[in-house]
Amino acid sequence: MFKKLIQESMGKSPWLFHINAGSCNGCDIELVSVLTPRYDAERLGFKLAGSPRHADIVVVTGPVTKQSLPRVLRAISQVPEPRCIVTMGSCPQSGNVFRGSYSVAGPLSKYVHVDVDVAGCAPKPEAVIDGLALATQILKEKRGQMK
């Protein structure tokens, strides 16, 4: 009985863990603005987690630099399965203006499976909320497959 209650409640309030992989902070500001009262993504159950071990969804911003790559992969590995990985902005998807730089390790999808890409530089808050809602659906499907 308690296990079913816990499973149902987990699907309604996914926790986010944000990883800055070397961004210019444009996407970081947009992610924070989504959580403020104006857009209020918390009404949909989204909360920022202080630790990757407590998160359900990982949000990665910025081009993945060679220096941040091991830390990003270690943080993602600490998120319990099933997890959903969201890239926010053009940088973690393609490198954007930093592509080809000596310090950029490449798009995140070269190293881990990315479930949702939120495009834009910086993406609009509406697009971020839409991407997080899609990530929640994918997370729910992954949890259903684990049963």
Q: 47 lies in a domain?
A: yes
For residue range 32-87, what is the model confidence (pLDDT) as tens digits? Answer: 888 888 888 888 888 888 889 988 899 999 888 889 899 999 999 999 888 899 99
pTM for the full model? 0.86
Q: 8 lies in a domain?
A: no
Q: 1 lies in a domain?
A: no
pLDDT at 1: 61
C-alpha span between 2 and 31 (Å, rounded): 33
Q: 132 lies in a domain?
A: yes
- Identify the three-state secondary structure at position 49: coil
Q: 104 lies in a domain?
A: yes
Query: How is residue 6 written in tokens?
Result: 């816990």
Domain span at residue 98? 14-146
| DSSP single-letter state for residue 82 | S
C-alpha span between 32 and 36 (Å, rounded): 7
CATH code assigned at 65 = 3.40.50.12280
Q: 6 lies in a domain?
A: no
* pLDDT of 7 strictly over 70: no
pLDDT at 103: 79
Q: Which residues of 128-138 are buried (b: 16+ CB within 10 A; e: fewer)?
A: bbebbebbbeb
* pLDDT of 134 strictly over 70: yes
**Structural domains in the chain (count):** 1
Q: 2 lies in a domain?
A: no
Q: 4 lies in a domain?
A: no
